[in-house]
């Protein structure tokens, strides 16, 4: 959530900044509501002063010759009128404050100054490419056909069990999927210094509000029936980031670094994406992801984003998968993000790069919603943290990339060298394996 003080100072500047995200902020409506709130506060203070003076009026009336009971009755009548008006003002102020909060909860984060202009993903700017796409002397197949040829990827059974946009994996292919998770976690823990955490796969609405999925994106979530109010997590970002909700971190903990990695399944309804990537594992309702989350001081978050993105890139480099890194333009930037890099892996069957990781700096946007703070030792006062996260990586899409980039003319698939120890020394996937 944006800082309401910052919005009050210059709502027109906020509106201008948000246009880069293609969001129309109604500065006039904000100013109108804020003026109502301010006037209600002024009127309340005036009535409180009148109430204080009225309590002294009994003595004045008695001194002027009014009988005691009559004086008390007059003052009580005046006080009752003041209390009624005060109650009305308090209720009005509460309603206006709720409207202001609801308005701000629907407003996205301000983009960083170096976020490029642009309407959609076509305006994203490539930063770097790594690796050269392999040239094949045979007709490449997509991961669906490769997986089916291996006898390990089955969408028909998944549709029978549940419905579309789910998958069943068998045998060595299922093991390869598991190996990817273990490899990613090991790399982030032992090479990049993240602490592994295990979290619930269901969260409450406060957690989703904290990271920005609610109230705006409820249609993208799976909500459980019953009185629990729980939702299946769309990403480990939600439970991991909310671990520090309503928390004040001491400076010493930040010195040591607050960096978490977490593997979870993720559940997304993909509302509004019907017709997109319906074939295969690119866009599913249930998928696995290894997440990276960091909490840092405000002055450290820009550098932390570069480092976190580099950690995700390391996974692709170790797997020898060609990819490119792009910075998202304003129109493609997520609701809570201040700045985002996407990593896009090369998929030969599509002859293009596809997103496999998004790494974002949220500034203090999520922290303000969660009241996640750190104590500044220079002032002794709590200040808002900055939060960051990224996919390190999306496991299903990484498997897709391995199947397509590692495919051989005979239908087998070469297993990346770094994964072979997790596969019991197996170097190739084939129908026979």
* Catalytic machinery residues: 268, 283, 355, 358, 397
- The Cα-based distances of 337 to 2, 87, 99, 260, 389 in angstroms read 12, 40, 24, 19, 10
Q: Determine the Cα–Cα distance for residues 8 and 374; give it in Å rounded to an integer.
A: 25
Is 357 annotated as contributing to ligand binding? yes
Q: Is 236 annotated as a binding residue?
A: yes
Q: What is residue 73's DSSP assignment? A: H
Q: Is 269 annotated as a binding residue?
A: yes
Q: Tokens 């792009």 belong to which residue?
A: 326
Buried-state track 166-197, b at ≥16 Cβ within 10 A, e below 16: bbbbeebbebbbebbbebbbebbeeebebeeb
DSSP-derived letter for residue 195 is E
Task: Decide the pairing of beta strands 247-249 and 372-375.
Answer: parallel
The crossing angle, in degrees rounded to 10, of helices 171-190 and 301-318 is 140
430 is in an annotated binding site: no
Q: Binding residue per annotation — 55?
A: no
Alpha-carbon gap, residue 39 to 326, rounded angstroms? 47
Question: Under a CB-based contact definition with an 8 Å cutoff, are residues 392 and 280 in contact?
Answer: no
CB atoms within 10 A of CB 112: 19
CA 433 to chain centre: 40
Q: Please give the Cα distance from 328 to 270 (Å, whole number).
A: 20
Tell me if 178 is assigned to a ligand binding site: no
> How far apart (Å, rounded) are the C-alpha atoms in residues 2 and 163?
40
31 is in an annotated binding site: no
Burial 319-345 (b: 16+ CB within 10 A, else e): bbbbbbbbbbbbbbbbbbbbbbbbbbb
Find out whether 427 is annotated in a ligand binding site: no
Joined tokens for residue 104: 């701000």
237 is in an annotated binding site: yes
A 10 A CB-CB count for 253 gives 12
Q: Pick the closest to residue 25 from 2, 5, 47 (CA basis).
A: 2
Buried b (16+ CB within 10 A) or exposed e, 201-221: ebbebebbbbbbbbeebeeeb
Q: Hey, what are 91's tokens?
A: 């209720």
C-beta of residue 390 within 8 angstroms of C-beta of residue 312 = yes
Known binding-site residue numbers: 235-237, 268-270, 291, 355-358, 389, 391
Which residue ranges are tagged as binding site for ATP?
268-270, 355-358
Binding-site residues for L-serine, please? Answer: 235-237, 268, 291, 389, 391
């Amino acid at each position: 959530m944006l800082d309401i003080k910052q919005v009050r100072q210059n709502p027109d500047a906020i509106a201008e900044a948000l246009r880069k995200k293609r969001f129309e902020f109604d500065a006039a409506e904000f100013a109108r509501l804020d003026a109502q709130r301010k006037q209600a506060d002024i009127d309340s203070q005036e009535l409180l002063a009148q109430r204080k003076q009225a309590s002294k009026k009994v003595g004045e009336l008695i001194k002027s010759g009014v009988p005691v009971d009559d004086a008390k009755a007059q003052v009580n009548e005046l006080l009752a009128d003041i209390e009624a008006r005060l109650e009305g003002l308090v209720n009005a102020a509460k309603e206006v404050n709720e409207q202001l909060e609801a308005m701000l909860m629907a407003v996205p984060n301000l983009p960083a100054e170096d976020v490029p202009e642009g309407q959609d993903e076509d305006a994203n700017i490539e930063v770097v490419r790594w690796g050269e796409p392999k040239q094949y002397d045979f007709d490449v197949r997509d991961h669906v056909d490769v997986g089916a040829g291996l006898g390990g990827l089955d969408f028909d059974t998944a549709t029978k069990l549940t419905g579309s946009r789910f998958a069943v994996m068998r045998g060595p292919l299922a093991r390869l999927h598991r190996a990817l998770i273990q490899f990613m976690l090991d790399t982030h823990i032992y090479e990049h210094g993240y602490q592994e955490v295990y979290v619930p796969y269901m969260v409450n609405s406060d957690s989703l509000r904290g990271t920005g999925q609610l109230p705006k994106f409820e249609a993208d979530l799976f909500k459980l029936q019953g009185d629990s109010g729980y939702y299946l997590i769309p990403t480990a970002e939600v439970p991991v980031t909310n671990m520090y909700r309503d928390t004040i971190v001491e400076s010493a903990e930040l010195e040591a670094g607050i960096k978490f990695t977490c593997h979870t399944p993720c559940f997304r309804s993909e509302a509004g994406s019907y017709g997109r990537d319906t074939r295969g594992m690119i866009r599913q309702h249930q998928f696995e992801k290894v997440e990276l989350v960091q909490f840092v001081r405000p002055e450290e978050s820009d550098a932390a984003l570069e480092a976190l993105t580099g950690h995700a890139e390391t996974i692709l480099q170790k797997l020898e998968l060609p990819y490119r890194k792009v910075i998202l333009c304003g129109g493609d930037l997520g609701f809570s993000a201040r700045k985002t890099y996407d990593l896009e892996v090369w998929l030969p069957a599509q002859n293009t790069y596809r997103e496999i990781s998004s790494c974002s700096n949220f500034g203090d946007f999520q922290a303000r919603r969660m009241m996640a703070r750190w104590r500044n030792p220079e002032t002794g006062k709590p200040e808002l943290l900055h939060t960051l996260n990224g996919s390190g990586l999306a496991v299903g899409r990484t498997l897709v990339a391995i199947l397509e980039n590692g495919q051989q003319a005979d239908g087998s698939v070469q297993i990346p060298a770094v994964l072979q120890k997790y596969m019991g020394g197996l170097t190739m996937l084939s129908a026979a394996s």
